[in-house]
Amino acid sequence: MKIGTKISLFYATITFGIAFLIIVIFYVFTSRYINRLFDVNLTEKAYLVAQKHWKKDELDSTAYNLVLKKYKALLPEAYEVLLNKKDTKATNDTLCKYLSPLLIQTVYEEGPVTFKYGNKRGVAIYYPDNQGDFFVIVLAHNAYGSNIKQHLLLLSGGLLLLAIFISFVMGRVYAKNLLAPLKMILSKLRNIRGNNLNVRLEESGNKDELDELKRTLNDMLDRINEAFKSEKSFVNAASHELNNPLTAIQGECEISLMKERSTKEYIESLQHIFTESRRLSQLTKQLLFLSHDDGDLLNQEISSVQVSDMLRGFAQDNKRVVFTDYTSGNVSISVNTYLMNVALQNFISNACKYSKDNVDVRLKVSNGYPLIEIEDYGIGIPKEEISQIYQSFYRASNTHEFKGNGIGLTLSLKILKIYGVHVSVDSEENVHTKFSLIFES
């Protein structure tokens, strides 16, 4: 069921519920009021009956004629029952026919009582007189009141149906106007393809939820477009980088097979193939690593690592690395040892590659957080290119003379990011490059 239909049915249901409740309450109170008015007439009729039969000797002719006139005018179709208290059995039998024991007691003690008998309403009064003690029961069918109730029900039912119809139609109109912007959004989103991700939704300027939705969708499209471009660039670069060693291996094999070679030539050829295959294997491993989700990396085993011991190990493995510890030597971090070794090794390897001088590695504490500085004194990074060095396969314009594929820093940043490490770089071309790694979590 579409949202517009749901909204229309919702409004119609709410209208029906409210109108039905109002009609029921109105009908109940109106019916009670009609019955009370009729009961008043019945009571008056009962007293007129009593006065007609037992007040003739007490009233003058004018007053008695007035009683007779009122008696004939009021409820002429009423059914009358007269009972003499002296005739105990007949009186009790008749009273019990119409009244409960409690109502009979009420007639004696409090006065007239009303009751319902079949489709008629009735009233019973106790009338003591100088001629004796009597009971008067008057019954009548409230035809006029029944007609009013019937017409009231028909009118209420008609108004209820009209209200439901109007609310349903208004709900449809409201839903159509409300959902029109959403339909427009859906229409535009359906037309977005990989070749037109630059399409954006125009805001109405109303600063409402729909504008907020459009802004959110536009932001999402921006991220998707950026990710799509990055993915496309990544695939193109990866294909190129993978093709280079494969082409080199294939070419070396073709050259070797063109004619018989000496043992030395075969050995040189195999060494070349081995170098390229190792390069291909390393590149493949890095690409697979980059494809891992951050959650997968976080699930790796974590242990407490002494940072000074880890950095000292790099210095021992490479004589060009000079490690300086500015702490007390008890700084530790909770990481996966292998992943952190991969990340730091990439920074140190790059520093050694792009500098002929020694590489300084320093361990400090900044605002209570471990800080690692890796500084080389080589070719540096052009300032306008610093913001791009973490992109996959990106290599600065001054690095063409050096071997590499531009994945190392991207891989390191991915690892450091999952551990909440903030990375900053300070570089001046042909002077130095310093990476600062702050472990803030």
Q: What are the extents of the domains in the chain?
A: 3-147, 209-290, 294-439
Task: Indicate the fold that domain 294-439 takes in CATH.
Answer: Heat Shock Protein 90 (3.30.565)
Cβ proximity of 290 and 407 under 8 Å: yes
Give, as one character, the DSSP assignment of residue 35. H
CB 171 within 8 A of CB 63: no
Residue type, 88: T
Q: Quote the pLDDT of residue 209.
A: 80
pLDDT at 406: 59
The residue to which tokens 């339909």 are assigned: 183
- CA-CA distance, 84 to 132, in Å (whole number)? 7
| 350-353 own/partner pairs: CB under 8 Å, 24+ apart | 350/376, 350/408, 350/409, 351/375, 351/376, 351/378, 351/433, 351/435, 352/318, 352/320, 352/321, 352/376, 353/402, 353/404
In the DSSP assignment, the letter for residue 378 is: S
Confidence of residue 293 (pLDDT cuts 50, 70, 90): low
Q: What angle do CA 418, 423, 428 make, to 5 degrees?
A: 155
- The per-residue pLDDT for range 316-367, each reduced to its tens digit, is 988 899 999 988 778 888 888 888 888 888 889 888 888 888 999 999 998 8
Give yes or no for a contact between 31 and 149, defined as CB atoms under 8 angstroms apart: yes
Q: Note whether 388 and 400 are within 8 A (CB).
A: no
Only one residue has tokens 């000797």, namely: 57
- Give the pLDDT confidence score for residue 228 in this predicted structure: 74
- pLDDT tens by residue, 4-42: 788 888 888 888 899 899 999 999 999 999 999 999 999
**What gap in Å lies between CA 3 and CA 5, rounded to an integer?**
5
Q: How many CA atoms lie within 13 A of 295 on its CB side?
A: 0
- Average pLDDT estimate for 375-387: 84
Dist CA 344 CA 313 (whole Å): 11
Q: Residue 298's pLDDT is what?
A: 58
Fold agreement between 209-290 and 294-439? no
User: What global pTM score does this model have?
Assistant: 0.49
- pLDDT classification of 163: cutoffs 50, 70, 90: confident
What percent of the chain has pLDDT above 90? Answer: 33
Maximum CA pair distance of the chain?
Answer: 159
Q: What's the pLDDT at 407? A: 67
Contacts of 133 (CB under 8 A, 6+ apart): 84, 85, 86, 126, 127
Q: Residue 290 — very low, low, confident or very high, per pLDDT cuts 50/70/90?
A: low
Give Cα 233 distance to the centre of its chain: 36
pLDDT tens by residue, 230-240:
666 556 555 65
Higher pLDDT, 279 or 138: 138
Q: How many residues does the chain have?
A: 441
DSSP state letter for 385: G
Task: Name the 3-class secondary structure at 328.
Answer: coil
Choice among 115-129, 145-159, 173-187, 418-432 with the minimum mean pLDDT: 173-187
The pLDDT-based confidence of 375 (bands split at 50, 70, 90) is: very high
**pLDDT of the residue at 283:** 62
Q: In 206-245, which positions are buried (b, 16+ CB within 10 angstroms) versus exposed (e)?
A: eeeebbeebeeeeeebeeebeeeeeeeebeebbeebeeeb
The predicted model gives 393-407 an average pLDDT of 61
Could you report the per-residue pLDDT of 49-90, keeping only the tens digit for each?
999 999 888 889 999 999 999 999 999 999 999 999 999 899
DSSP annotation of 358: -
How is residue 137 annotated by DSSP? E
Tell me which CATH code domain 209-290 carries: 1.10.287.130
Confidence of residue 148 (pLDDT cuts 50, 70, 90): very high
Question: Tokens 């300027």 belong to which residue?
Answer: 205
